[in-house]
Structure 1
Amino acid sequence: MRRLTRTPRENWESIVESQGLAFHRSAHPAHLGRPYWDEGAEYVLEMDEVLALEEQVEELHRMCLAAADHVVREWRFADFAIPEWAAPAVAESWRRRDPHVFGRFDLRYDGNGPAKLLEYNADTPTSLLESSVVQWYWLQDVHPGDDQWNSIHERLVDRWKGLELPTGPVHFAWTRMDETGEEVMTLGYLQETADQAGLTTVAIAMEDIGWDPEARRFVDLEGRTMRTLCKLYPWEWAIADPFGPHAVAQQVSMTWIEPLWKMLLSNKALLAILWELYPGHPNLLPAYLDGPRDLTSYVRKPLLGREGASITVVAPEGTVTTPGAYGAEGHVYQEFAPLPEFDGRRPVLGAWVVHDEAAGLGIRETSTLITDDTSSFVPHRIPL
C-alpha cells in the first residue's frame, strides 16, 4: 500500500457533482484547506493485499455476528446501554434474523501485517456514494487499465433483489436535521440501487412520517401504510423519540433497513465483547468496558459517538480530546494504535460489507490522529 500524488482532473468539481456527490462543498468548507473529495492523491494497493483484506473483513463480520448472538444469549444488553424495555425486541429481531443490507468497517492498515478493527458502522454508514460510484468513474477516467476493490453497486442491487419484502413501496427516509445534505444524498443513492433492482420506492423525511392510531401503523404523506423503511436515522435516536415504542412494536409487521438487531453491531461496546470472545485475535485491539486496565496507551470512545466526536486519546506523549456531547451512555477503552502516516496524512480504511460479503473500499484521511468530519476521501486503485 502506498500513497501517490497526482494532478486532479480538469473541472473535477462538476464531474463529481454530476455523479451525485452534491454535498462535498457544504460538508467541507474552504477554510479546511483541502476538498472533501481529494483526487490530488491516490492510494495504490496490490491485489494480494486486497484479497487478504477481503478475507479479514469477512472473518470480522462473522465474528461480529457471533458476538451479537452471544449478547442475546447472555442478555448483556446493559453493556450496550440498550433500555430494558427495548431489549426483548432487539433479541427477537436477532432471533428472526431480520434482513440486513450493508455496513462499513473502519480499519487501521499500513500494508504490513493484518488490519486492525477500529469500529463497525453497521447501522448508518456513510461515504457510500463516494466508495461505490464516484471513485469508480475516477478510475475509468484516470487509470482505465487498472482495477479497484469495488463491487458495491452490483452487490447492493443484487441484495435488494434477494430480499423478501412486504407488499407496497419501499420508503427511504432522511432527516432534516442533517444540514450538509450527506444523508439525503446517501439515501438517494440507496434508493437508486433499489430502483435498479425493480422495487417501487418513495422518498420521505423522517419528520413527515405519520402514525395512524386506529390502524396502529406508520403512514406516509399520502396516507399509505409503510411496510418497508430504509433509514439513516440511528436506532438509538429512534427508540428515544416519542414514537420510539411504536417503532419497536412494529418490528414484526414492518421490514426495517437496517434491522433493530444492528444496535448490537453499531455500538462500540461490541469492541470489548469481541476482545472477550476472541482475545489476541490478529485483527482486534484490546478493548474493555470497565476502564483501560493495563493499557498504557488507549482511546476512550463513547459507546454511541459519531464523526470522531467526544474521543480522548491517552498516550505517554500526552492526551488529545475532540469536542462533542457524546458519552452519556458510557465508554469503551481500546488500545491506541496510531493510524499510519503517508506523506503527513493518516488514512483509515472503510471496508464495505453487503449482506455478509466484503464488497469494496473507501479511504478517508486526515492529518491528525482522529478521523473526524474534517477528513477527506481519497480514491484508490489496484495496478494490473
Structure 2
Amino acid sequence: MIRQSLSPRPDWRHKVEALGLIWHDGPERPYWDESACYRFTRGQIDRIEAATAELYRLFLAAGEAVVSEPRLLARFGIPPVFHDPIREAWEAEPPALNFGRFDLGFDGRDAPRLFEFNCDTPTALLEAAVVQWAWKEECFPALDQFNSLHEALVARWSELAPDLPATLHVAHVADQAGEDAITAAYLRDTAEGAGIATVPILMDAIGWHHDDHCFVDEGDMRIEALFKLYPWEWLVHEEFAPHLLDNLERGDLVWIEPIWKMLWSNKAILPVLWDLFPGHPNLLPASFTVPAGDAVAKPLLSREGANVSIRRAGAIIAETAGEYGEEGYVYQSLYRLPEMAPGCFPVLGSWVVDGAPVGMGIREDGLITSNTARFVPHVIDG
C-alpha cells in the first residue's frame, strides 16, 4: 500500500461536478482530493475483500445473537416498543439493498481491522462508485480498481423490483452541504437504471394520513416503498414515532433499509462481536466498560466521528465535539493507523451490496476520521 503524490487535473472540479459530485470542496483542502492516490497490490485487495466477506458473516451471527437475547438488545439504547418490530423484520427478511460500508484500518501488511459498519445511511457512495472510477479511467487507464459498486447496486435493485410497488419514494434531509442530496440522487439513478420509478421527497415533507393510517407525500400520494437516507435511531424518537409504530405493525410500507439495520449501525454491536469472536484477526477488542489499555471511546449512535476520543496511557490525546453520548459509549482498543503523509491517516471504506464485497473508497483525516475527511482515489497496481 503506497500513497503517491499527483498533480490534480486542471479541470477536475468541472469533471466531478459533471458526474454529480457538487459537494467537493472543504474548509482547508478539497473533499475530493486527487493530489494523491493509493496504490495496492492485487494480493492486498484480495485480503481486504476476504476480510469484508468475513466481517459480513460475523455481523450475521451477531445480529442473530442480539435478536435472540432481550437483555442484549436492551444495551442498544433503542426504545423497547421497537424491539419486536426489529425482531420481526430480522426474521422476515423484507426487501433490502443490504448495502453498507465497513470502515477498516489497514497498513498493507497485517489483517484489516474493523472500526465500525455504516449500513443504515452510508454516504461517500457516489465518489466511491462513480467519480473515482472515471478518474482512474482518465489518469490510469491501464490499471484496475476495486470497484464494481455501481453495477452491484443496479443489479440489486433489479432483484428487488418484482417485490416493490410501482413507485419508490427516495427521502433525505435538506442538508446545507448537499452530501445527503447527492447520495439520494445517485441511489435514485441506480434504482431507475433497474427500471424502478422513483419520486424524490424531503423527510420533513412526509405526512401522515390519519384516516388511512399511512404515510403520504406532498400530493397526498400514499408512500408504499421508501428509501430513506435518514437514520432509524432518529426516526424512532420523532414526534410521529407512534405513527411509525402503527405503520410497522401494519406492514404495508417497504422500508429500505429495514428497521433491523438499527442493530448493525449501532456501536453496541462492537462488544457483541468481540464477545462472540474473541481474538478474531479482523476485530478489535471492544467493551461497554473503560479498558485498562489504549482505547477509542465511541458513542453508541454518533455520526461522522462526533464525540469520539482517543485515550492513550490514561490521557485523551484527541477528541471531537458533537451532540452525542447521552445514550452511552463503547470502548474499542486503539488501532494505530499508518501516517501515510504528514497528518494523513487513511481509513478504508469497504462496501458490500446484498452482503457481497463490491468496492472501496478511502478517506484521509487526522487521528479521528470526521466530516472534514478527504476522499482519495485508489488503483490496483500489480
TM-score range, shorter chain: over 0.9
Matched, 1:41 2:36: yes
CA gap 1:292/1:317 in 2 versus in 1, 3 angstroms: closer
Matched, 1:23 2:19: no
Number of the residue aligned with 2:362: 363
Matched, 1:154 2:124: no
Number of the residue aligned with 2:6: 6
Q: How much has 1:165 moved relative to structure 2?
A: 2.9
Q: Please tell me the residue identity of whatever aligns with 2:22.
A: A
Give ranges in structure 1 of 5+ residues lacking alignment: none
SS at match of 2:183: helix
TM-score, normalisation: structure 1: 0.96
Matched, 1:181 2:178: yes
Decide whether the 8 Å contact of 1:71 with 1:77 is kept in 2: yes
Counterpart-to-counterpart distance in 1, 2:3 and 2:165: 48
Counterpart-to-counterpart distance in 2, 1:298 and 1:214: 52
1:68 pairs, out of 60, 63, 71, with: 63
What are the within-5 Å matches in structure 2 for residues 1-384 of structure 1? 1-25=1-25, 28-29=26-27, 32=28, 34-75=29-70, 76-101=72-97, 102-163=99-160, 164-176=162-174, 178-251=175-248, 252-289=251-288, 291-293=289-291, 295-316=292-313, 318-319=315-316, 320-344=318-342, 345-366=344-365, 368-384=366-382
Q: How much has 1:249 moved relative to structure 2?
A: 3.0
Give ranges in structure 2 of 5+ residues lacking alignment: none
Counterpart-to-counterpart distance in 2, 1:201 and 1:131: 23
Decide whether the 8 Å contact of 1:166 with 1:254 is kept in 2: no
Q: How much has 1:245 moved relative to structure 2?
A: 2.6
CA gap 1:258/1:196 in 2 versus in 1, 3 angstroms: same
Q: How much has 1:110 moved relative to structure 2?
A: 0.7
Q: Please tell me the residue identity of whatever aligns with 1:64.
A: F
Q: How much has 1:148 moved relative to structure 2?
A: 0.3
Q: Please tell me the residue identity of whatever aligns with 1:93.
A: A
Counterpart-to-counterpart distance in 2, 1:331 and 1:64: 20
SS at match of 2:336: coil
Runs of 4+ in 1 over 4 A off after TM superposition: none
Q: How much has 1:225 moved relative to structure 2?
A: 1.0
- Deviations along 1:290-335, one digit per CA (max 9) or x if unpaired, are x123x31001100000111101111028412211110111100100
Decide whether the 8 Å contact of 1:170 with 1:200 is kept in 2: yes
Counterpart-to-counterpart distance in 1, 2:50 and 2:10: 37
Counterpart-to-counterpart distance in 2, 1:264 and 1:317: 30
Q: Which has the higher mean CA deviation after the structures are superposed, 158-167 or 85-94?
A: 158-167
Counterpart-to-counterpart distance in 2, 1:364 and 1:312: 19
Counterpart-to-counterpart distance in 2, 1:117 and 1:329: 22
Counterpart-to-counterpart distance in 1, 2:216 and 2:332: 42
Q: How much has 1:62 moved relative to structure 2?
A: 1.2
Counterpart-to-counterpart distance in 1, 2:225 and 2:110: 42
Q: How much has 1:179 moved relative to structure 2?
A: 1.4
- Deviations along 1:324-370, one digit per CA (max 9) or x if unpaired, are 1101111001001121110221000000010110010000001x210
Q: How much has 1:253 moved relative to structure 2?
A: 1.2
Q: How much has 1:173 moved relative to structure 2?
A: 0.2
Counterpart-to-counterpart distance in 2, 1:245 and 1:311: 32
Q: How much has 1:43 moved relative to structure 2?
A: 0.1
Counterpart-to-counterpart distance in 2, 1:247 and 1:66: 28
Q: Please tell me the residue identity of whatever aligns with 1:179.
A: Q
Q: Which has the higher mean CA deviation after the structures are superposed, 131-140 or 309-318?
A: 309-318
Decide whether the 8 Å contact of 1:108 with 1:118 is kept in 2: yes
Decide whether the 8 Å contact of 2:113 with 2:284 is kept in 1: yes
Counterpart-to-counterpart distance in 1, 2:378 and 2:314: 32
Q: Please tell me the residue identity of whatever aligns with 2:252.
A: S
Once the two structures are aligned, what percentage of the paired residues are identical? 46
Decide whether the 8 Å contact of 2:95 with 2:163 is kept in 1: no
Counterpart-to-counterpart distance in 2, 1:100 and 1:50: 27
Counterpart-to-counterpart distance in 1, 2:246 and 2:336: 43
SS at match of 1:240: coil
Decide whether the 8 Å contact of 1:300 with 1:333 is kept in 2: yes
Counterpart-to-counterpart distance in 2, 1:165 and 1:227: 11
Decide whether the 8 Å contact of 1:299 with 1:333 is kept in 2: yes
Counterpart-to-counterpart distance in 2, 1:246 and 1:268: 27
SS at match of 1:85: helix
How many pairs are equivalent?
A: 375
TM-score, normalisation: structure 2: 0.96
Decide whether the 8 Å contact of 1:165 with 1:255 is kept in 2: no
Q: How much has 1:98 moved relative to structure 2?
A: 2.2
- Deviations along 1:252-287, one digit per CA (max 9) or x if unpaired, are 211111110000000000110000000000000000
Counterpart-to-counterpart distance in 2, 1:317 and 1:347: 25
Q: CA RMSD for the aligned pairs? A: 1.1
Counterpart-to-counterpart distance in 2, 1:98 and 1:65: 15
Counterpart-to-counterpart distance in 2, 1:247 and 1:274: 29
